[in-house]
Amino acid sequence: MVDLVETVIAGDLPPIVTAGHPVLRTPAQEFDGQLDDDLLGRLIACMRSVMHAAPGVGLAGPQIAVPLRIAVLEDQGAGDDAVAAARSRRPLPFTALVNPSYRASGDAMAAFYEGCLSVPGYQAVVERHHAVEATYTQPDGVSATRIFEGWPARIVQHETDHLNGRLYLDRALLRSLSADREHGRWAQPTVEEARRGLGF
């Protein structure tokens, strides 16, 4: 694993693996010290840079061909107040999750369009828990449990799915699937117009 990670993070930013690569369909390995603190820190820094460059709001290890249960999250929030309110989208400071898992916190569900850096060119509506309680280890080895709500909860669920070998399309309402060039017509604060137009 050390050699793989050293190779992936050496030089320029690694490419994002796209749908069809088996690493995205295989549950990632638990992190149990395969990397020393320095290499783990460099991997997380690399993942953050790849996420920013894409640009995206989350990235999981398998998306750069590293099959470890590590993900990074960061979101500046929505610039549009109506979108931010409808989607409960608020800024999410940079967070690195090692060996994350989550459970629903409450019964509320929310359906919104999602995209994925590993499925470029498309978006689809996914219904997810509005709030989750995530348990994970921080890069310094300290265990944490935290409630994520709204859009940050969606990011946690999306990235944890990657670590479990799942893509958002596995959960999507497929009649909502839209190519990026068509998605503009459905880029509303909610998905109600898209529901009417596409029949899902």
- Tracing tokens 């449990």 back to the chain, one arrives at 145
The residues annotated as belonging to the active site are: 159
Closest listed residue to residue 29, CA positions, set 166, 168, 163, 167:
163
Name the token pair of 32: 């149990």
Could you give the CA distance from residue 71 to residue 86 in angstroms, rounded to a whole number? 26
Contact 96, 72 (CB under 8 A): yes
Output the CA angle 63-68-71, nearest 5 degrees. Answer: 60
Side chain identity at 196, as an amino acid letter?
R
What is the phi/psi pair of residue 72, to 5°? -125, 145
What is the phi/psi pair of residue 144, to 5°? -140, 150
Half-sphere exposure at residue 181, Cβ-oriented, CA atoms within 13 angstroms? 0
